[in-house]
Amino acid sequence: MSATEILTTRNANLADLVALLRAQHAAKLDVVAPARDLTAVGGALRVDGAGEPVLSPDGVTRGHALLRPTALADTGIADKLAIPVAYLRRLREHKIDLYDANVNAWLRDEPGRRFLVRGLADGDGGGVMRAAGTAPAAGSCTWSPAPRRPSPTPTRPTSSSATGSRR
């Protein structure tokens, strides 16, 4: 099942949904990468070190993943790089070379800044980028469990409600 099929399946029965969820789980790609490892190329985002391992005479290295952003991912890229989203969308539609130049220029401005890239890999070095965000600083934790809600206490009818009288 391709990354596009995973995102566009409609009117699925229960067996199809189970297969779809298994395929999504196997294809998910969640990477925290510094800006220096991200490059816009032809409107896609190349994430160095996030691809399949490559065996060469020099040893094993990580390849790159080339992810095509969805509209939601473009919104995340625009937000994190402080590029107006309408402008970025217009560049994607009409001037893809300027899209690449804008995104790359802002990524190079802070090469150590960390980004969370979420996508679905197709197994051939490509895929779909579903979301982009700013990752927390190394060693920090921004996750916290949801606050516990007090369990509701059972209420007992008062004598006036039991008799049906009104106040």
Average pLDDT, rounded, for the chain: 77
Percent of the chain with pLDDT over 70: 69
What stretches of 37-114 show up as alpha helix (H) in DSSP? 71-81, 85-94, 96-109
Lowest model confidence (mean pLDDT) among 31-35, 61-65, 138-142: 138-142
Complete domains list, the chain, with CATH? 28-139 (2.40.50)
Euclidean distance between CA atoms 3 and 73, whole angstroms: 15
Of 9-18, 55-64, 99-108, which has the strongest mean pLDDT?
99-108
Give pTM, 2 decimals: 0.66
Contacts of 127 (CB under 8 A, 6+ apart): 3, 27, 29, 65, 66, 67, 68, 119, 120, 121
Q: Is the pLDDT of residue 56 over 90?
A: no
Give the pLDDT of residue 44: 94
Q: For position 159, what pLDDT does the model report?
A: 53
pLDDT level of residue 144 (50, 70, 90 thresholds) = very low
SS3 category, 98: helix
